[in-house]
Amino acid sequence: ELKVEQNPLFLSMQEGKNYTIYCNYSTTSDRLYWYRQDPGKSLESLFVLLSNGAVKQEGRLMASLDTKARLSTLHITAAVHDLSATYFCAGFFGNEKLTFGTGTRLTIIP
């Protein structure tokens, strides 16, 4: 059974601090996605990682992929309140669907 696990599930962090969200998946994935979701809203695409060692950065967010370890990370640098949201990773396992993790609810505290 395909599994995508994220940790932590909940994260409260102070503004200005750094932290990392981890995404482990149980089988080979062609690609790995990161999405942001605000309460009651849809999914906003953040990153698509296509190969081992891929690293992408946008503002205070940086995502990386290690296909050998079946691990992706989303690193937050110098957090600001606007980054408060739920973050999902999703794997594409070649069967025409995205398999999502359970999400990490991030709260940035002033």
Say if CB 35 and CB 87 are below 8 A apart. yes
Residue 40 binds other proteins, judged by CB under 8 A: yes
Which CB, 15 or 44, lies closer to other proteins?
44
Min dist. Cβ of residue 9 to other proteins (A): 10
Min dist. Cβ of residue 38 to other proteins (A): 11
Residue 26, sorted as left (phi over 0), alpha (psi -120 to 50) or beta, turns out to be alpha
Selected binder of other proteins within 33, 61, 67, 108 (CB under 8 A):
33
The Cα 104–Cα 36 span in angstroms is: 10
Instruction: Report the DSSP pairing between strands 104-109 and 98-100.
Output: unpaired
Residue 31 binds other proteins, judged by CB under 8 A: yes
Which CB, 21 or 101, lies closer to other proteins?
101
Min dist. Cβ of residue 67 to other proteins (A): 15
Whether residue 8 is preceded by a cis peptide bond, meaning omega within 30 degrees of 0, is yes
